[in-house]
Amino acid sequence: MDRQPEEQAAETVRQLRALATPDGAAALSRAASLMADGADAVSALSRLRAEVGTDLAGPAWGVARQRHKARATFGADADRLLFTGDTLEQAGRPALADRRAARLLAPGSESVADLGCAAGTDTIALARAGARVVAVDRDPVARELTLLNTTALGLTRVEVIDADVVDLVAAAADGVVAGCRAAVLDPARRAGGRRQLDPDRWSPPWSTVTALLDRVPATVVKVAPGLDHDRVPAGIEAEWISVGGSIVEALLWGRGLSATWRRATLVGRDAVHELTADQDPGLAPTGPVRRWLHEPDPAVIRSGLVACVAADLGATLIDPTIAYLTSDGPAANPWVSSYRVTDVLPFNLKKLRALLRTQGVGRVVVKKRGSPIEPETLARQLRGPGSGSAVVVVTRVAGAPSVLVCAPLSG
Ligand SMILES: C[S@@+](CC[C@H](N)C(=O)[O-])C[C@H]1O[C@@H](n2cnc3c(N)ncnc32)[C@H](O)[C@@H]1O
């Protein structure tokens, strides 16, 4: 029979504590070496049971698997931290947590409440940045993980408490929550394995997000990247952050930290680029397709700053409802990928295929915006004997379904 959630949580806490003992550390190290040798779960578990005992074998193998997954984002820390599957899935990127902590603490806040700490990613970043942290979670497994993880990293100025964030925020006054002058709130946006699109169904819900922003000016809240702009309260800066061409985080900065209306941030391997606007720049002007097509980074699109990039490039939109820009030259600009346009035609599969054949194009990368086509399917349909390649952009130009054939990206 399935265990009750509380019983299950108590058992997980017991297992985590056992893993934090010297015997547990030995079991974890053995599990890690079996994983590094590529052992499958069945044989690894039977060897672990024989070598470290049945009590430690399963939990050690479970954590070794999570550490293996965590290594790409957590680096060397992954081998010192404990995660469950759920808490690793909810964890943000440590590099972004560091960035958030630095900005949150810049005005001089010394103590920060991490409201919903899970495995402690934000708590760790805040404590490493020098803050005293009150880490809050109503989930006993999350509290244990945060306690064990901060201890493993030698971070001593962390207090982990059991409380409901809704109550703490309701009691916040004079810019203070849970005894702290600053706060990070990262609501759980999944329930039963499914993403909750409606902010009123997050935990804690949207009403707690806005109450915290109103009551504690030194606050940062992690929100869903798809958050409707209309939800962002007046005086609050909203920031969208992209890494490698995908949005990875969206943040709301409280009135004590807010520095602009919207911010798009692109975190690259060697540099961080930021684009800001103090007010809504509106829509960029629309014009005919010119020699170059520019695809804005998703952080620019989500933050509503396409018009700022267009002004910078002397570019226009190809359609008022589509975020593709066009201009006479390529862009030396981190905010867009530029493609040289060779042909523009109304969308017609037969004519498109014929054109590509005459150009000796046998392989295409398909991009689409404002079209229902399936890029992989169209790329297959356009495959041919030619050795050339092209980028095919299926979109709308001034309302008409169209195709822009572009030269492949070099490099
Ligand atoms: C998205 S996770 C936080 C992830 C964390 N910032 C990280 O990067 O690892 C949200 C956490 O909030 C906790 N939580 C949700 N609602 C809560 C509430 N009303 N009171 C206290 N904790 C809550 C959940 O148990 C969960 O651990």
pLDDT tens for residues 66-115?
999 999 999 999 999 999 999 999 999 999 999 999 999 998 889 999 99
What is the bridge-based pairing of β-strands 246-253 and 190-191?
Answer: unpaired
pLDDT tens for residues 236-251?
999 999 999 999 999 9
Beta carbon of 188 within 6 Å of any ligand 1 atom = yes
pTM to 2 decimal places: 0.93
Average pLDDT, the chain: 95
* pLDDT confidence bin for 410, thresholds 50/70/90: low
Distance CA 294, CA 318 (A): 10
SS3 content of the chain, % helix, strand, coil (to 5): 40, 25, 35
278 has pLDDT over 60? yes
367 has pLDDT over 80? yes
Structure tokens at 333: 């600009």
Beta carbon of 139 within 6 Å of any ligand 1 atom = yes
Question: Which residue from 122, 123, 186 has its CB within 8 A of the most atoms of ligand 1, so it is best to mutate?
Answer: 186
Residue type, 399: G
In the three-class reduction of DSSP (H, G, I as helix; E, B as strand; rest coil), residue 332 is classed as coil
Structure tokens at 261: 């209306």
Structure tokens at 201: 């169904």
Helix (H) or strand (E) holding 153: none
Q: Mean pLDDT throughout 104-130?
A: 96
Specify the residue with its C-alpha closest to ligand 1, atom 15.
203
For the chain, the first-to-last Cα distance in angstroms comes to 57
How many CA atoms does the CB half-sphere of 188 hold within 13 Å?
A: 22
28 C-alpha to ligand 1 centroid (Å): 26
Hey, how many other C-beta atoms are within 10 angstroms of the C-beta on 354?
11
pLDDT tens for residues 183-205?
999 999 988 788 899 999 999 99
374 has pLDDT over 70? yes
In this prediction, residue 345 carries a pLDDT of: 97
Beta carbons within 8 Å of 159's beta carbon, 6+ residues apart: 132, 133, 134, 135
Q: What percent of the chain has pLDDT over 90?
A: 94
Q: What is the 3-state secondary structure (H, E, C) of 204-252?
A: CCHHHHHHHHHHCCCEEEEECCCCCHHHCCCCCEEEEEEECCEEEEEEE
> What secondary structure does DSSP assign to 238-305, as a single string?
EEEEEETTEEEEEEEE-TTT--SSEEEEEE-SS-EEEEEESS---PPPB----SEEEEE-HHHHHTT-
83 alpha carbon, distance to own chain's centre? 18
pLDDT top residue among 407 and 408: 407
In this prediction, residue 5 carries a pLDDT of: 86
234 C-alpha to ligand 1 centroid (Å): 26
The closest-lying atom of ligand 1 relative to the alpha carbon of residue 189 is 1
- Residues counted in the chain: 411
The closest-lying atom of ligand 1 relative to the alpha carbon of residue 118 is 27
24 has pLDDT over 70? yes
> What secondary structure does DSSP assign to 189-207, as a single string?
-EETTEE--SGGGSBS-HH
Question: Which residue from 81, 114, 117, 121 has its CB within 8 A of the most atoms of ligand 1, so it is best to mutate?
Answer: 117
What is the bridge-based pairing of β-strands 322-327 and 316-319?
Answer: antiparallel
Distance CA 297, CA 265 (A): 10
In this prediction, residue 3 carries a pLDDT of: 66
pLDDT tens for residues 222-238?
999 999 999 999 999 99
154 C-alpha to ligand 1 centroid (Å): 23
Q: Mean pLDDT throughout 407-411?
A: 69
Beta-bridge partner residues of 111: 132
Beta carbon of 92 within 6 Å of any ligand 1 atom = yes
Alpha carbon separation from 102 to 99, 145, 147, 249, 267 (Å, rounded): 5, 23, 22, 16, 15
Beta carbon of 186 within 6 Å of any ligand 1 atom = yes
Q: Indicate the DSSP class of residue 20.
A: T
CATH 3.40.50.300 fits 89-277, yes or no: no
Q: Where in the chain is the domain with CATH 3.40.50.150?
A: 89-277
Distance CA 355, CA 153 (A): 61
2 has pLDDT over 70? no
Beta carbon of 237 within 6 Å of any ligand 1 atom = no
Beta carbon of 289 within 6 Å of any ligand 1 atom = no
Q: Mean pLDDT throughout 325-338?
A: 93
150 C-alpha to ligand 1 centroid (Å): 17
117 C-alpha to ligand 1 centroid (Å): 5
Q: Mean pLDDT throughout 306-326?
A: 97
Distance CA 380, CA 269 (A): 33
